[in-house]
Amino acid sequence: MQPSSFRGAVAPLSRLVAVVVLALAAALVGPAPTARAAVGLTKVTDFGANPGQLNMYVYRPASLPAEPAVVFALHGCSQNAQTYADNSGLPELADRHGFLVVFAETTFSNHMNKCFNWYQSTDIRRGQGEAASIRQMAAHAVSAYGADAGRTYVTGLSAGGAMTSVMLAMYPDVFQAGAVVAGLPYGCAGDVMAALKCMDPGVDLTPDQWAKRVRDAHPSWSGPWPRVAVWHGDDDPTVVPLNADELRDQWTALHGLSQKPTRTSVIGPNSTRHEEYAAADGSVAVEVNRVPKIGHATPVDPGSGPQQCGSTGTVNFRASICSSHWIAQFFGLTKPFEDDRLPAPAGLAATDATDTTIRLSWNAVDGADDYVVYRDGDPDPLATADATSYTDTGLTAGSSHTYAVAARDADGRTGRFSGAVTARTTGATAVCWTATNYAHVQAGRATTSGGHTYAKGSGQNMGLYNTFVTRTLRESPVGHFTVADGTCG
């Protein structure tokens, strides 16, 4: 989490702070991320009022029940929606348990380090700035995707965790629960220098003082307050672990609870210390999870086990415990749902690709009247097929597309979605791009993590993320870039 000024001129001191933090991150960064298949996200460009100038991306699992729950995910500094989707494990959990995920994304135009502005008064008040944009996304998820307004949740890492606190404090009528990962309590800071103090060494207030900051910012609300889960690494040098205690104090006080846990236990493969603070009805209103031997990161546990998820593909995701699994469980999303729809078609395959077409085929489903084909995560069907095959036409040479298919019964009810398959058309011509690492990231040819730049597709390390390093990238097929200094002609 790297606070600096936002939108417009950057104060000299805050610029210096940001540059120093980024330089340290570059010096400490480990090996380059391993190239991996990107999660398919759908960008939503018209979700309504957007005073915070944020981007909205949606992950819609292939099998989704009617009126699904929706989880909002807020990335950390220097990240973006795609990075958070690829590594946090939330899409895996969405596939497993049938809920929608919305990834809100901030940009360089909002903050020079792509942090959510969790300490700027114009972005953390109800009806203003970034907070209002995220709230509008929640309304759009209900109207456009049929999400259940009564099961809307939010989680985030670092600056995204601090912004999660904002959303829970300012919109308790929208979010039923939230999970703050390596974040801070609401109202801790109102400017850059105060933000740095909150992060390290931290600000110690009484529970009543923390609760008052929320109530004063939203005086018309008297409850009920959202349920809150706190996740924090014991070795976090960026946002010190004291903040986990202050978050606990703020939300237990708002719920009228003691700061002494009702129950304590250990969870996960690394014996994370788990504290529960129960309401009068026995439900857990607040929980705190203290993760041993982990720094400033989202805890993940790669694998296919029932409690595993996520990837350590970037430095802000550390192997330890699948926090997203436990967060989904805290939200009440891990219970299986009844589904009596037609089964998913098996054997979906993409074959016989040409420069402009991809042919799909799949196995028949008993009871199917016809089939619907979906492409690239679009919630609207691409086509309807009477048989067990379909040819997608009019595509761009060298382009990559992801497909899923579902059977429909005689009543027109869509069954469960098949597993996805990805295929590329043939005939792409390589294109070369020479620019600074900064320009490559801005143009979407590369990503940045921990102060370094990585080519999209190949994941190759291009060096420091700045305007001084110039590299040549070769694009082939479309959207896949490799480093080609001196060899691309």
Q: What is the pLDDT of residues 115-172, one digit of tens each?
A: 999 999 999 999 999 999 999 999 999 999 999 999 999 999 999 999 999 999 999 9
Q: What is the pLDDT of residues 446-474, one digit of tens each?
A: 998 888 999 998 999 999 998 899 999 98
Give SS3 for 62. Answer: coil
Give SS3 for 88. Answer: helix
Q: Catalytic: which of 14, 63, 88, 158?
A: 158
**What does the DSSP 8-state code read for residue 307?**
T
> How many CB atoms are closer than 10 A to CB 16?
12
Distance CA 456, CA 440 (A): 10
Active-site annotation holds for 158: yes
Q: How confident is the model at residue 202 (pLDDT cuts 50, 70, 90)?
A: very high
Please report how the helices 159-170 and 207-217 are oriented relative to each other, as an axis angle in degrees rounded to 10: 70
> What's the CATH number for 12-331?
3.40.50.1820
Flag whether the pTM goes above 0.85.
no
H/E segment holding residue 383? strand 383-385
**Tally of CA atoms within 13 A in the half-sphere of 469 that contains its CB:** 18
Distance CA 465, CA 83 (A): 16
- Rg over alpha carbons for the chain, rounded to the nearest Å, is 23
- The residue with greater pLDDT, 98 or 20, is 98
CB contact at 8 A, 391 and 423? no
Q: Where in the chain is the domain with CATH 2.60.40.10?
A: 349-424
| Residue 364 in this model has a pLDDT that exceeds 60 | yes
| Range 453-460, long-range pairs (CB < 8 A, 24+ positions) | 454/32, 454/33, 455/481, 455/482, 455/483, 456/480, 456/481, 457/35, 457/481, 457/482, 458/35, 458/482, 458/483, 459/32, 459/33, 459/34, 459/35, 459/36, 460/32
Distance CA 372, CA 233 (A): 45
Q: How confident is the model at residue 21 (pLDDT cuts 50, 70, 90)?
A: very low
**Tally of CA atoms within 13 A in the half-sphere of 86 that contains its CB:** 20
HEC sequence for 5-34: CECCCCCHHHHHHHHHHHHHHHHHCCCCCC
Q: Where in the chain is the domain with CATH 3.40.50.1820?
A: 12-331
Distance CA 176, CA 227 (A): 7
* Mean of all residue pLDDT scores within the chain: 88
Distance CA 372, CA 326 (A): 34
**What does the DSSP 8-state code read for residue 309?**
B
- The residue with greater pLDDT, 18 or 264, is 264
Please report how the helices 242-254 and 207-217 are oriented relative to each other, as an axis angle in degrees rounded to 10: 60
How distant, in Å, are the alpha carbons of 13, 128, 231 from that of 5?
10, 17, 27
Dihedral sign from CA coordinates of 276, 290, 151, 300? negative
Task: List, edge to edge, every strand of the sheet that includes 263-267.
Answer: 42-44, 55-59, 100-105, 70-74, 152-157, 177-181, 227-233, 284-291, 272-278, 263-267
Query: The domain 349-424 belongs to what CATH superfamily?
Result: Immunoglobulins (2.60.40.10)
| Residue 23 in this model has a pLDDT that exceeds 80 | no
